[in-house]
Amino acid sequence: MPIIETQGLSYTYSPGTPYKKDAIKGISIKIEKGDFVGIIGHTGSGKSTLVQHLNGLLRPTSGKVLLNGRDIWENPKKIREVRFKVGLVFQYPEHQLFEETAYKDIAFGPSNMGLDGDEIDKRVRTAARFVGLKDELLEKSPFELSGGEKRRVAIAGVMAMQPEVLILDEPTAGLDPKGRDMILGQIAEYQKENGATVILVSHSMEDIARTTKKVLVMNKGSVAMFDETQIVFSRAEELQSIGLSVPAVTRIFMQLRGMGYNVGDNAYTVKQAVERLLPLLKREVGNND
Amino acid sequence: MIDITLGQYFPGNSFLHRMDPRVKMVLIFLYIFSVFIPQNWVGLGLAVAFLVFVIILSRLPVKLIFKSIKPIIPLVLITSALNIFYISDGTTLFKWGFIQITTKGITTASFIAIRIICLIAGSSLLTYTTSPTTLTDALERLLSPLKVVKLNVHELAMMMTIALRFIPTLIEETDKIMSAQKARGADLESGGLMQRIRALIPIIVPLFVSSFRRAFDLATAMECRCYRGGERRTRMKQMKMRVPDYISIVVVLAFAAGLLGLNFIFKSVL
Ligand SMILES: Nc1ncnc2c1ncn2[C@@H]1O[C@H](COP(=O)(O)OP(=O)(O)OP(=O)(O)O)[C@@H](O)[C@H]1O
Ligand SMILES: [Mg+2]
């Protein structure tokens, strides 16, 4: 049974006004337990709207969201429990910090769950370790931290709830390359260690290529593709036709092939490219001898 | 989702939407005053008919107009009731103890009710067909003669425009922060009064932080573009009166004069 399933999910913002907007239309997807799913799509294609349905922040205009096979809106009073199971880190989550210390801010989620003090402390420290926050930073006011540190505190705040499904909406937007690599690495580690299901929304094809197993491509509120990462990036022309790019490495491979080199299948991570190109280079060097 | 339609602008491209906002503002004020002219049913009927005509011109959904009237219905009912019970001249229709209902009372009450409704519906036409920023812009220009009494009209209008401009932003921001805290299990809906107030802290603190950040950013951005108040500023959007605006002025003036004239032709019923 898929851990999350949506059936014909549609959502309209401001219905019945001139500002009416069908943000997502008839989305039906299944996400299996332990999957690492990437969501890509043009600005305004409905990615954020979609993920806000998965933890019950938005109530579908039509369609259903099933968590472990049960409609999450079956009992609207219990929707908070869904939010503890499906953790969502918003776009620019550092804007939601409010406590006096980073520690207390990370503890906000777990204490809402009604856990006892020891358990909360354990979870806060585990989550902080995961995102690479040093102990002395935990006692600082979140407003004194740097942008990247704030971002980590906010992500830790959701990780500390230890959700079965962790959703991150552009967690690396506006970070430097090193900070980006670090956060992505930590998310991948969290996934491995907890066997959690992770959904990552991102505009960076490189990030998606490197971390995810499956990719959901959104276009104008509908699902354009939903498949293994490799398969999705092999359909580069289709991606480009809906205004998305492919990882730079994949573009290089496409050009090499266009120039007449027999480089085989497209690679979409640097590691793959190295594996693919090295033998070819060796052969060339051999021929020259 | 917070559903506040402040600055209830309803975009469109009707005659009313395209009018010079200054003219529109003045004429709607003129209409509101005119509603108090009629002393007879014919005049009042004309005032209502004129309003209906303008509503049709505005091409707004009638539902919207009713929505603007709804909140004042209690007020209308109370004033009408007071009038019915207090006015004791005219033919008595009904008497019970000290309560007395007369024809005159009913007439006056209906007049007042209809006037209030016309007044509200008329002024809502202004806010429905003009965006808040255009409105303050028009106000600035209409009030600019007050410069002679050292009132800084430009700065006042600027403050109003900025405030109006940021209301939707703040609502959106509040919405987003609420969602983010709900995602962390914040419970905003249950508990006693104290608990609910405490539950607001995770929303208010980030909201203040971001409002200050926005205010500073805006100030910096304005200074970077050498903003220096109203002195010798030119405008991107020039307001210009066109033929339809002049026609509207003539029509509304004729309407007001007509109402005055009708008062002489027909006997006052009040
Ligand atoms: N609160 C809202 N009210 C009205 N319309 C909205 C709201 N939020 C989003 N929309 C609209 O819904 C559509 C989908 O928005 P959404 O935020 O889901 O896009 P996105 O794919 O996350 O984009 P981005 O990559 O820029 O974050 C957009 O056209 C947007 O204008
Ligand atoms: Mg988004």
Return the exposure string of A75-100: e unless at least 16 CB atoms fall within 10 Å of the residue's CB, then b. eeeebbebbbbbbbbbbbbbbbbbbe
pLDDT for res A285: 67
Mutation target among B184, B201, B209, B217 for the A interface, most CBs of A within 10 A: B184
The pLDDT-based confidence of A288 (bands split at 50, 70, 90) is low
pTM, two decimal places: 0.76
Q: Which residue has the higher pLDDT, B228 or B212?
A: B212
pLDDT for res A287: 63
* Nearest of B19, B33, B25, B9 to residue B119 by alpha carbon: B33
The residue nearest atom 2 of ligand 1, judged by CA position, is: A13
And the tokens for B166?
Answer: 């940021």
Determine the distance separating the centroid of ligand 2 and the alpha carbon of A42, expressed in angstroms.
9
What digits encode the pLDDT tens for the residues A27-75?
Answer: 999 999 999 999 999 999 999 999 999 999 999 999 999 999 999 999 9
pLDDT at B58 exceeding the cut of 90? yes
What digits encode the pLDDT tens for the residues A190-202?
Answer: 998 888 999 999 9
Percent of chain A residues topping a pLDDT of 70: 98
Residue A160 and residue A150 in contact, taking contact as beta carbons nearer than 8 Å: no
| Closest CA in chain A for residue B188 | A80
Spatial separation of the C-alpha atoms in residues A258 and B119, rounded to whole Å: 73
pLDDT for res B3: 40
Give the distance, in angstroms, between the CA of residue A229 and the centroid of all CA atoms in the same chain: 13
pLDDT at B6 exceeding the cut of 50? no
What digits encode the pLDDT tens for the residues B102-150?
Answer: 888 889 999 999 999 999 999 999 989 998 888 888 988 898 888 888 8
Please give the average per-residue pLDDT across B57-80, as a whole number: 90
Residue B6 and residue B86 in contact, taking contact as beta carbons nearer than 8 Å: no
Determine the distance separating the centroid of ligand 1 and the alpha carbon of A24, expressed in angstroms.
9
CB A95 to CB B176 under 8 A? Answer: yes
pLDDT for res A234: 85
Residues framing ligand 1 (Cβ under 6 A)? A 13-14, 21, 23, 41, 43-49
Nearest-5° Cα angle at A145, A143 to A147 = 100
Please give the average per-residue pLDDT across A107-128, as a whole number: 94
Percent of chain B residues topping a pLDDT of 70: 97
And the tokens for A157?
Answer: 């705040």
The pLDDT-based confidence of B237 (bands split at 50, 70, 90) is confident
Nearest-5° Cα angle at B16, B11 to B18 = 75
**Of the candidates A57, A89, A143, which has its C-beta nearest B209's C-beta?**
A143
pLDDT for res B7: 54
Nearest-5° Cα angle at A81, A76 to A84 = 135
The number of CA neighbours under 13 Å toward the Cβ of B142 is 15
What digits encode the pLDDT tens for the residues B153-171?
Answer: 888 888 888 888 888 889 8
Give the distance, in angstroms, between the CA of residue A187 and the centroid of all CA atoms in the same chain: 9
What digits encode the pLDDT tens for the residues B81-105?
Answer: 888 888 877 777 777 777 778 888 8
Residue A89 and residue A169 in contact, taking contact as beta carbons nearer than 8 Å: yes
pLDDT at B191 exceeding the cut of 60? yes
Running DSSP on this structure, what letter comes out for residue A164? Answer: S
**Of the candidates A80, A89, A97, which has its C-beta nearest B185's C-beta?**
A80
What digits encode the pLDDT tens for the residues A208-242?
Answer: 998 999 999 999 999 999 999 988 988 888 898 99
User: Which 3-state string (H, E, C) describes chain B?
Assistant: CCCCCCCCCCCCCCHHHHCCHHHHHHHHHHHHHHCCCCCCHHHHHHHHHHHHHHHHHHCCCHHHHHHHHHHHHHHHHHHHHHHHHHCCCCCEEEEECCEEEEHHHHHHHHHHHHHHHHHHHHHHHHHHHCCHHHHHHHHHHHHHHHHHHCCCHHHHHHHHHHHHHHHHHHHHHHHHHHHHHHHCCCCCCCCCHHHHHHHHHHHHHHHHHHHHHHHHHHHHHHHHCCCECECCCCCCCCCCCCHHHHHHHHHHHHHHHHHHHHHHHCCCCC
* Nearest of A60, A42, A62 to residue A50 by alpha carbon: A60
Please give the average per-residue pLDDT across B52-72, as a whole number: 91
- Chain B residues in contact with A83 by the CB 8 A cut-off are 182-185
Running DSSP on this structure, what letter comes out for residue A277? Answer: H
pLDDT for res B2: 37
Determine the distance separating the centroid of ligand 1 and the alpha carbon of A48, expressed in angstroms.
7
Residues of B with CB under 8 A from a CB of A: 10-12, 176-177, 179-187, 201-203, 205-206, 209-210
pLDDT at B35 exceeding the cut of 90? yes
CB A95 to CB B206 under 8 A? Answer: yes
CB B181 to CB A97 under 8 A? Answer: no
The pLDDT-based confidence of A12 (bands split at 50, 70, 90) is very high
The residues spanned by each domain of chain A are: 1-74+164-236, 247-289
The one-letter code for the residue type at B238 is: Q
CB A95 to CB B202 under 8 A? Answer: no
Task: Indicate the length of chain A as a whole number.
Answer: 289
Spatial separation of the C-alpha atoms in residues B105 and B87, rounded to whole Å: 5
Considering chain A, what is the average pLDDT of its residues?
90
Topology classification of domain A1-74+164-236: Rossmann fold (3.40.50)
pLDDT at A106 exceeding the cut of 60? yes
pLDDT for res B267: 86
User: Which 3-state string (H, E, C) describes A17-51?
Assistant: CCCCEEEEEEEEEEECCCCEEEEEECCCCCHHHHH
Report ipTM for this prediction.
0.86
